[in-house]
Amino acid sequence: MRITRQVVDKIIGETVESRTQKNRNILSIYLTGSYLYDDFLLGGTADVDLVMIHVDQPENEREIIRLTDELHLDIAHHFHRDYRQPRKLRVDPWMGHTIFECKILHDPQHLMDFTQAAVRGQFDRLDNVAERARTMLESARQTWLNRQLEGGGSEPADVLNYLRSLEQAANAVAGITGHLLTERRFLQDFPERAEAVGRPGLDAGLMGLLGAKDITRDQVRAWLPAWEQDYLAPPVASRPPRLHPDRLPYYRQAILAMLDTDSQLTALWPILWTWTRLADLNNAASISIDAWRSALSELGLQGTELHSRVDALDAYLDNIEEAIEEWNRRSGGLT
């Protein structure tokens, strides 16, 4: 199926109509994610992110609905009480940006109209921008610190925490000038965000912490068969919706598309992030994760090399803190 705005808009409209007619518990529905932007396709694939707010606590937090190999719905289900304090949502790094940019599709009681107006009010005030950035950076530091206190080794959970800290650190920077970065375009979009805050060197630092300077396009391409096999290994019931089997083409086609560009190593993040989460699931199920370990060895993210990278991450977090404070001073804010 050829994915066009006309086709997707029709699917969105039908989904909203069907859900609201069948379920009177839905207060509001809004659209978020990559479909809000012009370049929503990557590798010819896309997802449509919808959020449905319920009167009662929803039974499931998230569901994936396959439409074709190239397109699926990613529906989050929220409890209306989570929207009771919109001024606090304004300084929440993830929810603040999500609500600020979202498109409201169904809102007969004006819950989201009110919430979005409150979030957008003073959203770009310097102290609010700085608070969101510092909150995200503090999350990165806490993730790093927890690993230090636990004396983490090179098990999947340890590597996952390392990657999570990197994700939070990079988004502390990205959130200053726009929405936070998501998994497929994470490395693709970060250079522009680092440049926007006057710290282009943060991109090279991030790539170094991922071990990107030690690998080639051909090495990443060679990992794909084992990554795909591991992706399909866990039973559906044991995996989070983000790693639903129907999302495999969504990741695979994006990775292949990035490998065919001059910035081929931007493909590293979606494969490494998903593979590490899968390894964590597979490890618990006693399924082999040898291929994942081999890829990490090539990246220098195993054993003593990972410990060295964790130490370097501490310095990287300091650099990001300096970047936030410098941006704040340059913009006329208070430190």
What's the predicted TM-score (pTM) here? 0.93
| pLDDT over 80 at 153, yes or no | no
Burial of 24 (0-12, 13-18, 19+ CB in 10 A): exposed
Calculate mean pLDDT across residues 197-208.
96
User: In the predicted model, what is the mean pLDDT of residues 58-79?
Assistant: 96
Q: Is the pLDDT of residue 98 over 90?
A: yes
The helix (H) or strand (E) run that includes residue 81 is: none
28-32, 115-119, 177-181, 299-303: least confident range: 299-303
Q: Looking at residues 288-302, what average pLDDT do you find? A: 91
d(CA 201, CA 194): 8
pLDDT tens digit sequence for 131-146: 999 999 999 999 888 7
The residues near 196 (Cβ < 8 Å, ≥ 6 apart) are 176, 177
- Residue 81 clears pLDDT 80, i.e. is over it: yes
**Residue 180: how many other CB atoms lie within 10 Å:** 20
Cα dihedral 69/43/19/118 (nearest 10): 160
pLDDT at 146: 76
Model confidence band, residue 147 (pLDDT cutoffs 50, 70, 90) = low
pLDDT > 70: what percent of the chain? 95
The Cα 219–Cα 223 span in angstroms is 7
pLDDT at position 307 is 86
The residue extents of the domains of the chain are 5-120, 126-327
Using only C-alpha atoms, what is the Rg of the chain?
A: 20
What does the pLDDT look like over 231-274, one tens digit per residue? 998 888 888 999 999 999 999 999 999 999 999 999 999 999 99
Average pLDDT over residues 200-214: 94
Q: Which residue shows structure tokens 């997802």?
A: 47
Q: 5-120: what CATH class?
A: alpha beta
Is the model's pLDDT at 2 over the cut of 90?
A: no
In the numeric block, the tokens 């639903």 are attached to: 244
Cβ atoms of 123 and 86 closer than 8 Å: no
In this prediction, residue 334 has a pLDDT band, given cuts at 50, 70 and 90, of low
On whether the CB atoms of residues 281 and 239 are closer than 8 A, the answer is yes
Q: For residue 284, what pLDDT is reported? A: 56
DSSP string, 233-267: SS-GGGS-GGG-GGGHHHHHHHHHHHHTSTTGGGG
Which whole number is the average pLDDT over 6-15?
96
Reported confidence tier of residue 84, pLDDT bands at 50, 70, 90: very high
Q: What is the 3-state secondary structure (H, E, C) of 208-238?
A: HHCCHHHCCHHHHHHHHHHHHHHHHCCCHHH
Q: In the structure, what pLDDT confidence band is assigned to residue 48 with cuts at 50, 70 and 90?
A: very high
pLDDT of residue 155: 85
Alpha-carbon distance of 226 to 207, in angstroms, equals: 23
Q: What is the pLDDT of residue 150?
A: 61
Q: What is the pLDDT of residue 287?
A: 61
**Stretch 32-41: mean pLDDT:** 94
Which residues touch 244 (CB under 8 Å, ≥6 apart)?
64, 236
Query: How many angstroms separate the CA atoms of 186 and 167, rounded?
Result: 8
The tokens of 132 are what?
A: 């969101």
- Per-residue pLDDT band at 124 (split at 50, 70, 90): very high
Q: What is the pLDDT of residue 332?
A: 85
Mean pLDDT of the region 202-223: 94
Does residue 1 surpass a pLDDT of 80? no
